[in-house]
Amino acid sequence: MATATSTATSVAAALLLSLLLARARGDDDYSGFVYAGCSQGRYASGTQYASDVDSVLTSVANSAPYSPYANFTSPTSNSVVGVYQCRSDLPASVCTGCVRSAISRLSSLCAWATGGAVQLRACFVRYGNDTFLGKQDTAVLFKKCGGSPGDAGGAAMRDSALGALVAAAAPAGGGYRAGGSGGVQAMSQCVGDLGAKACSDCVSAAAGQLKAGCGYATAGEVYLGKCYARFWGNGGGGFSSGAAGDAYGSGHRVSGNRAQRHATGKKTKSALILLAFIFALSFS
């Protein structure tokens, strides 16, 4: 009995240590959850549609080690499309792990949904039979601002850093851009099915959302249908998935494991029901 108790205590201690280390490495949590959306339509197990979904998501998982972006379409009349986009500045190993984690989350959050999407810190995965591939989408899916209070000077540097993203030459593949001004850094990523101009337009829309909506906040991020943008002070991004509920006072947050629907009052073009899962952790 004493041995069993000792073993249980050791396991509990190891789990606690793992959690603390995960929180300490928050900015490196590339598979941290941001949002997910699932269509209202459903399909049945054992159908051709189910086989098509499995096929395109398998292709997505198999492609991730070799490219930060790819899309696949099933050859059947269902025309199920699967697409993924990793942050194209990160190593292939990070992309691979992130995409596999995203697919796992899709399987649990959007089980049997005819379409679904999940955004993690370093990758985006989507599947469905609607015509989203190659189409612009600047609908705001998730936005949060916060960090320690800043001032007008910091806001000016933020605006300059975000402006550098918009002005940057369209990158050759991947759609990743980075910029900075003074003590503020910024980055953006487009989904690879957008052309250069459409990517620039999406980044411009994302930057506009952050400039208009984040006031003197020293960190912020916004996710649109086909791109996202972030900014943070050089002292730290505050972008860990675990800390999100505390670091961003104006983000959509809930306590515990309860889900919150993203309240925009409008359906996005993708007709996905967006679920924003933000876990509130105390860092006091």
Domain 135-250 in the same topology as domain 33-128: yes
Any idea which of 24-33, 35-44, 105-114 has the lowest mean pLDDT? 24-33
> Given pLDDT bands bounded at 50, 70 and 90, which one contains residue 102?
very high
Q: Which amino acid is at 168?
A: A
The DSSP code sequence of 127-187 is EESSS-TT-----EEEEEEESS---HHHHHHHHHHHHHHHHSPPPSSS-EEEEEETTEEEE
The DSSP code sequence of 229-272 is EEEEETTB----TTTHHHH-TTS--BSTT--EE---SS--TT-P
Percent of the residues in the chain that have a pLDDT greater than 90, as a whole number: 60
User: Considering only CA atoms, which of 277, 280, 282 is closest in space to residue 33?
Assistant: 277
> Given pLDDT bands bounded at 50, 70 and 90, which one contains residue 284?
very low
User: Considering only CA atoms, which of 71, 69, 27 is closest in space to residue 221?
Assistant: 27
CATH of domain 135-250: 3.30.430.20
What whole-number distance in Å separates Cα of residue 187 and Cα of residue 177? 6
Longest Cα–Cα distance in the chain: 67
**pLDDT tens digit string along 232-248?**
997 654 433 322 322 22
**Greater pLDDT, 266 or 6:** 6
pLDDT of the residue at 57: 98
pLDDT of the residue at 154: 87
> Given pLDDT bands bounded at 50, 70 and 90, which one contains residue 149?
confident
Domain range summary for the chain, segments of one domain joined by +: 33-128, 135-250
CATH of domain 33-128: 3.30.430.20
